[in-house]
């Protein structure tokens, strides 16, 4: 077989790898380990498009490269199989999520196998598999059974806390859930079980609380934030309201500082780290209690700028703040009522995003603690109930939103910044000098903050406070297709099920509709929810991120029936060395899995507390859409170059009907019935489409399926081409045109080995020439250097140059061709396996050794030196690299291009810059 029959070759080797379990790994190996992981996909109904495998190809190249470099490589794949789309599909089509998920996984798996990935498929996991989710439930119980000890900054068993309470009460261990709870050992001893359990709930890392969710009466279901638009349900436009439901949460806020500190140890991009820091949102400031005129209650605010206290012109409470009802004056009551009902209809997202200014005066006044000024108290939606104390002191001079508010409602603005405030916009400067500010006048921000905090503390009305933007993570969904909770209720008190009762299997349902009172579908199954002894099961299920928070651990030991992952095995594989995936998971998944890892580490189940050592975010591949221009009101389409003369509508054309920009008009007419009558106004005999780069997606008809690319050009071409598109971490358009070039490159490679016409092999045992060695070793070095810094596209160019050079040199030496195959094989494994076998190897190229470059072979032995005479370029000479200066001088001065300027004399100066240039002054 001397022709490059890539389809046969692809299939042959994919079959071979499967049969021989080439990529199977074990943890007991003397080799150093390397763990390279892809973010596993959610298997959607549409399958993969060419954008999806970009990251998978990059990680596969690294996996193959590291194997060749002598590492024991863990490179697994699986499926994030629980989730809403499957449930939605079930609601709409009556197909059970288990069935549609299974089918989608089969498609994904086939598509992935087509591309020749080196996954150890024996480790495949599916989060919806009871053998997997029993351990998700088990980890949930670890979270439920532990609390965070702030003094040690780590999770400990809840039993330790019970022992502390029995010995000394909670005086040194304030409850994160109930801030004002204080009790001593004797109190604890007297509390009934229900009360003790409730107190413990305030500490547990997985805990039950009540939280508002969007409830839609008409749809009979709870909606996610993004399913509510402009105060009505996105689906159907029905009214929605906030409803308090019992929900599970993870106490991620206790880990805020650990999550921030951990970022110092990991290799993530700066922008990604910044996103995580913003999400945690740690800020420093003070809480200040303001007196309210005529009321005993105080208004507590959180501010990062206590130094601006002399510039406070009004106060704002969130509409949900409990004091609004208490302090509103009779005169303002009607206006406040109207405002509160408006605010109730708005989601937090809308409140944050809208630029619209709204608010209402309560009629009440606060008192400035330092100068006694009366400050009007307002309520407004720009202050969020869930942040800080839900109330602010507003300083229009220094804060933009406060300024806009004051401007809108005609509130006079106090200037505390002197010349630095122009009266037309707020100046949020941190470098100003305080004016008009009583005892802190003349101070800068930092000094002012310290002085005010000290004064507040002296008066007992304020103290330093650190605040976090992040909230505890909601951990329940009123849905069906997720992990059931391993929890039962007795008299409304939740109890963990014993480990022996795991997994709690998701029961089969025929109806995916919501249960009563906003509960999930499981509430419709009394036979399942009610245990014979009267205990009741939890009817919520876990959210989509549960299974993905720890899956990287299960891959290490996927079939373990007695533990989520054996400790000796996780000690061996340890952290993921390289994690590859999209930035859409920058905060959600990555933070939750970092949290779970920290808890498991604290509890001694694993030995590392950051899951991912290094993260690579691949860019997105955009679609290159094609547009046809229909003359408005007609069935006539005008070619792109002529469309300026008409009023047209754009029609997205399926890109499979377009070559470059030229539309196959017959295919278009046959595409859909409404195009059958289409007429075309051509330019130069062709109908040319317009183009536009946009998201790759079905609705733009610009989806390119990897299966088609692989069928047409082979898996190796496809892999190399995806890498060739550009730097891995940038967004870029897909362009099918360019794939031909890469395909030609592989054909050229083949022709180094075979003369296809004469049907004979070309390789020989001849010793390589110095030039051939130089070409090869330069490529070895370049490929290794670039791969180590994840520069995948430049490697493709280097390999192409190498093959071109070897072709020019008519290289046939096996001593060159063999190592060439090894360095190319991570990119193009099928063709390399095939040629490797032709060269006489019986074992897969996967087990070859990676060649080592020899610097001395790379070094050029001659060098070309330009010669300048009086600053002008006059000649060039080629000399051996290590030639003595005197020799070089002799040759240079004898060169005809130089001789004519010397006029027989010795030059005034002769300067040789070694290896670079010669300067002659005459
Ligand atoms: C006075 C002030 C003066 C403020 C000034 C800022 C600038 P971060 O950094 O995000 O923590 N704030 C406090 N609670 C709020 C809430 N629930 N909703 C909306 N805004 C709230 O921001 C803290 C600052 O945001 C606080 O400091 C407060 O305004 C506002 F020149 O107080 B500041």
Question: What are the beta bridge partners of residue 464?
Answer: 286
For residues 61 and 45, what is the distance between their CA atoms, to the nearest angstrom? 27
- Chain centroid, CA 430 distance in Å: 33
Check pLDDT > 80 for residue 118: yes
Cβ of 398 closer than 6 Å to ligand 1, yes or no, is yes
Check pLDDT > 90 for residue 518: no
> How much distance in Å is there from the Cα of 303 to the middle of ligand 1?
5
Separation in Å, CA 646 to CA 642, 650, 664, 689: 8, 12, 22, 15
**Interval 814-864: pLDDT, tens:** 999 999 999 999 999 999 999 999 999 999 999 999 999 998 888 877 788
**Interval 409-451: pLDDT, tens:** 999 999 999 999 999 999 999 999 999 999 999 999 999 999 9
The answer to whether residues 542 and 144 touch, using CB atoms and an 8 Å cutoff, is no
Mean pLDDT of the chain: 94
> How much distance in Å is there from the Cα of 305 to the middle of ligand 1?
8
| Cis bond before residue 503 (omega within 30° of 0) | yes
Check pLDDT > 80 for residue 598: yes
Region of 681 on the Ramachandran plot (φ > 0 left; ψ -120 to 50 alpha; else beta) = beta
Cβ of 303 closer than 6 Å to ligand 1, yes or no, is yes
Check pLDDT > 70 for residue 739: yes
CA angle 903, 908, 909 (to 5 degrees): 120
Confidence tier at 224 by pLDDT (50, 70, 90): confident
Atom index in ligand 1 nearest the CA of residue 394 equals: 1
β 621-631/862-869 pair status: unpaired
Residue owning tokens 């054909």? 747
Task: Kindly report whether the global pTM for this prediction surpasses the value 0.75.
Answer: yes
Quote the pLDDT of residue 717.
98
Quote the pLDDT of residue 654.
94
| Residue from 392, 431, 452 to probe ligand 1 pocket by mutation (most atoms less than 8 Å from CB) | 392
**Higher per-residue confidence, 527 vs 353:** 527
The answer to whether residues 473 and 250 touch, using CB atoms and an 8 Å cutoff, is yes
What is the pLDDT averaged over residues 874-888? 88
Separation in Å, CA 1 to CA 346, 640, 757: 70, 47, 12
Residue from 548, 545, 546, 543 nearest 476 by CA: 543
**Burial status of residue 356 (CB atoms within 10 A of its CB: 0-12, 13-18, 19 or more):** exposed
For CA atoms 798, 803, 804, 808, the dihedral sign is positive
Check pLDDT > 90 for residue 328: yes
> How much distance in Å is there from the Cα of 288 to the middle of ligand 1?
12
| Residue from 277, 284, 388 to probe ligand 1 pocket by mutation (most atoms less than 8 Å from CB) | 388
Question: What are the beta bridge partners of residue 652?
Answer: 627
Check pLDDT > 80 for residue 898: yes
Cβ of 384 closer than 6 Å to ligand 1, yes or no, is yes
The answer to whether residues 6 and 744 touch, using CB atoms and an 8 Å cutoff, is no
Cβ of 305 closer than 6 Å to ligand 1, yes or no, is yes
Atom index in ligand 1 nearest the CA of residue 311 equals: 3
**Interval 522-580: pLDDT, tens:** 999 999 999 999 999 999 999 989 999 999 999 999 999 999 999 999 999 999 999 99
Quote the pLDDT of residue 465.
95
Quote the pLDDT of residue 603.
98
For residues 459 and 636, what is the distance between their CA atoms, to the nearest angstrom? 81
The answer to whether residues 202 and 176 touch, using CB atoms and an 8 Å cutoff, is yes
> How much distance in Å is there from the Cα of 302 to the middle of ligand 1?
7
> How much distance in Å is there from the Cα of 345 to the middle of ligand 1?
24
- Give the number of other CB atoms < 10 A from CB of residue 502: 18
**Interval 61-77: pLDDT, tens:** 999 999 999 999 999 99
Quote the pLDDT of residue 695.
86
Give the HSE-up count for residue 126: Cα atoms under 13 Å, Cβ half-sphere.
16
For residues 441 and 107, what is the distance between their CA atoms, to the nearest angstrom? 70
Q: Which residues neighbour 202 within 8 Å (Cβ) at sequence distance 6 or greater?
A: 175, 176, 177, 178, 181
> How much distance in Å is there from the Cα of 437 to the middle of ligand 1?
19
Atom index in ligand 1 nearest the CA of residue 306 equals: 1
**Interval 630-683: pLDDT, tens:** 999 999 999 999 999 999 999 999 999 999 899 999 999 999 999 999 999 999
The answer to whether residues 589 and 619 touch, using CB atoms and an 8 Å cutoff, is no
Cβ of 383 closer than 6 Å to ligand 1, yes or no, is yes
Helices (H), 328-444: 330-344, 348-353, 400-409
Residue whose CA is closest, atom 31 of ligand 1?
398
For residues 324 and 364, what is the distance between their CA atoms, to the nearest angstrom? 10
> How much distance in Å is there from the Cα of 173 to the middle of ligand 1?
29
> How much distance in Å is there from the Cα of 467 to the middle of ligand 1?
11
> How much distance in Å is there from the Cα of 152 to the middle of ligand 1?
30
**Interval 465-515: pLDDT, tens:** 999 999 899 898 888 999 999 999 999 999 999 999 999 999 999 888 888
Residue whose CA is closest, atom 29 of ligand 1?
303
What the block records as the tokens of 87 is 């449930």
> How much distance in Å is there from the Cα of 383 to the middle of ligand 1?
9
Atom index in ligand 1 nearest the CA of residue 383 equals: 18
> How much distance in Å is there from the Cα of 321 to the middle of ligand 1?
16
Cβ of 467 closer than 6 Å to ligand 1, yes or no, is yes
What is the pLDDT averaged over residues 692-707? 89
Quote the pLDDT of residue 1.
60
The answer to whether residues 777 and 858 touch, using CB atoms and an 8 Å cutoff, is yes
Quote the pLDDT of residue 226.
67
For residues 617 and 622, what is the distance between their CA atoms, to the nearest angstrom? 16
Q: Which residues neighbour 78 within 8 Å (Cβ) at sequence distance 6 or greater?
A: 40, 123, 124, 125, 126, 127, 551, 555
> How much distance in Å is there from the Cα of 436 to the middle of ligand 1?
21
Per cent of the chain over pLDDT 70 is 99
Residue whose CA is closest, atom 20 of ligand 1?
383
Confidence tier at 313 by pLDDT (50, 70, 90): very high
Atom index in ligand 1 nearest the CA of residue 385 equals: 17
Check pLDDT > 70 for residue 357: yes
| Residue from 281, 394, 399, 404 to probe ligand 1 pocket by mutation (most atoms less than 8 Å from CB) | 399
For residues 157 and 155, what is the distance between their CA atoms, to the nearest angstrom? 7
**Interval 153-169: pLDDT, tens:** 999 999 999 999 999 99
Cβ of 636 closer than 6 Å to ligand 1, yes or no, is no
Quote the pLDDT of residue 240.
85
Residue whose CA is closest, atom 19 of ligand 1?
383
Confidence tier at 356 by pLDDT (50, 70, 90): confident
DSSP 8-state assignment for residue 294: T
């Amino acid at each position: 077989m001397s022709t490059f029959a890539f389809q046969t070759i692809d299939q042959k080797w994919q079959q071979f790898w499967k049969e021989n379990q080439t990529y199977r790994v074990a943890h007991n190996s003397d080799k150093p380990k390397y763990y390279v992981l892809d973010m596993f996909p959610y298997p959607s109904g549409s399958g993969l498009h060419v954008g999806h495998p970009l990251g998978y190809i990059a990680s596969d190249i690294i996996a193959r490269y590291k194997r060749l470099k002598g590492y024991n490589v863990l490179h697994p794949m699986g499926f994030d199989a629980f989730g809403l789309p499957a449930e939605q599909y079930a609601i709409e089509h009556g197909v059970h999520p288990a069935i549609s998920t299974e089918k989608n996984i089969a498609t994904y798996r086939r598509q992935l196998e087509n591309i020749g990935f080196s996954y150890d498929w024996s480790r495949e996991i599916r989060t919806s598999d009871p053998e997997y989710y029993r351990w998700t439930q088990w980890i949930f119980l670890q979270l439920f059974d532990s609390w965070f000890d702030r003094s040690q900054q780590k999770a400990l068993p809840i039993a330790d806390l019970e022992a502390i309470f029995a010995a000394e009460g909670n005086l040194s261990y304030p409850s994160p859930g109930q801030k004002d709870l204080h009790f001593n050992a004797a109190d604890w001893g007297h509390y009934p079980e229900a009360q003790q359990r409730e107190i413990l709930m305030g500490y547990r890392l997985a805990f039950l609380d009540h939280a508002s969710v969007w409830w839609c009466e008409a749809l009979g279901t709870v909606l996610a934030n993004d399913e509510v638009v402009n105060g009505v349900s996105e689906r159907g436009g029905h009214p929605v309201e906030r409803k308090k439901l019992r929900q599970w949460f993870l106490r991620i806020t206790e880990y805020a500082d650990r999550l921030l500190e951990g970022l110092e140890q990991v290799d993530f991009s700066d922008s990604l780290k910044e996103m995580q820091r913003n999400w945690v949102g740690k800020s420093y400031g003070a809480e200040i209690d303001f007196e309210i005129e005529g009321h005993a209650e105080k208004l507590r605010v959180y501010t990062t700028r206590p130094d601006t206290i002399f510039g406070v012109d009004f106060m704002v409470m969130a509409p949900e703040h409990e004091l609004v009802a208490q302090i509103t004056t009779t005169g303002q009551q009607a206006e406040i009522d109207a405002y509160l009902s408006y605010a109730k209809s708005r989601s937090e997202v809308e409140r944050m995003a809208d630029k619209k200014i709204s608010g209402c005066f309560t009629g009440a006044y606060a008192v400035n603690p330092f100068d006694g000024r009366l400050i009007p108290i307002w309520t407004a939606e720009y202050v969020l109930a869930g942040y800080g104390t839900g109330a602010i002191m507003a300083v229009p001079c220094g804060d933009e939103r406060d300024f806009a508010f004051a401007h809108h409602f005609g509130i006079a603005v106090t200037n505390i910044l002197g010349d630095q405030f122009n009266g037309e916009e707020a100046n949020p400067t941190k470098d100003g000098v305080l004016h008009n500010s009583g005892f802190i006048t003349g101070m800068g921000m930092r000094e002012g903050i310290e002085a005010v905090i000290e004064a507040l503390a002296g008066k007992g009305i304020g103290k330093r406070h650190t605040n976090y933007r992040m909230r505890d993570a909601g951990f329940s969904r009123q849905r069906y297709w997720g992990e059931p909770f391993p929890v039962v209720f007795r008299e409304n008190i939740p109890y963990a099920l014993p480990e022996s009762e795991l997994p709690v299997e998701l029961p089969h349902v025929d109806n995916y509709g919501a249960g009563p009172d906003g509960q999930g579908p499981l509430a419709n199954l009394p036979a399942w929810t009610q245990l014979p002894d009267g205990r009741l099961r939890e009817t919520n299920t876990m959210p989509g991120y549960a299974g993905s928070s720890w899956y990287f651990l299960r891959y290490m030991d996927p079939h373990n029936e007695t533990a989520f992952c054996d400790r000796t095995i996780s000690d061996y594989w340890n952290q993921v060395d390289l994690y590859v995936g999209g930035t859409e998971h920058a905060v959600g998944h990555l933070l939750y899995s970092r949290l779970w890892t920290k808890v498991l580490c604290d509890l001694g189940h694993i030995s590392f507390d950051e899951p991912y050592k290094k993260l690579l975010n691949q860019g997105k591949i955009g679609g290159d859409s094609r547009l046809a221009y229909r003359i408005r009101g007609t069935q006539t389409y005008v070619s792109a170059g002529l469309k300026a003369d008409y009023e047209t509508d754009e029609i997205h054309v399926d890109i499979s009907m377009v070559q470059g920009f030229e539309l196959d008009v017959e295919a278009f007419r046959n595409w859909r019935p409404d195009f059958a009558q289409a007429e075309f106004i051509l330019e130069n005999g062709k109908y040319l489409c317009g183009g536009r780069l946009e998201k790759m997606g079905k609705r733009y008809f610009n989806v390119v399926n990897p299966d088609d690319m692989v069928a047409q050009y082979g898996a190796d071409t496809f892999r190399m081409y995806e890498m060739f598109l550009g730097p891995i971490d940038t967004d870029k358009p897909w362009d099918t045109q360019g794939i031909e070039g890469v395909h030609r490159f592989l054909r050229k490679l083949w022709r180094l080995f075979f003369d296809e016409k004469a049907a004979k092999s070309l390789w020989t045992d001849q010793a390589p020439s110095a030039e051939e060695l130089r070409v090869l070793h330069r490529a070895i070095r370049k490929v290794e250097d670039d791969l180590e810094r994840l520069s995948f596209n430049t490697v493709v160019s280097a390999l192409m140059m190498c093959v071109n050079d070897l072709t020019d040199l008519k290289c046939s030496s096996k001593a060159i061709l063999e190592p060439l195959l090894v360095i190319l094989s991570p990119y193009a494994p099928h063709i390399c396996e095939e040629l490797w076998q032709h060269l006489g190897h019986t074992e897969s190229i996967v087990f070859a050794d990676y060649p080592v470059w020899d610097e001395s072979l790379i070094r050029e032995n001659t060098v070309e030196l330009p010669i300048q005479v009086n600053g002008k370029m006059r000649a060039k000479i080629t000399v051996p690299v290590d030639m003595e200066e005197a020799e070089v001088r002799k040759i240079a001065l004898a060169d005809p291009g130089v001789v004519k300027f010397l006029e027989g004399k010795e030059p005034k100066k002769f300067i040789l810059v070694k290896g670079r240039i010669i300067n002659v002054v005459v």
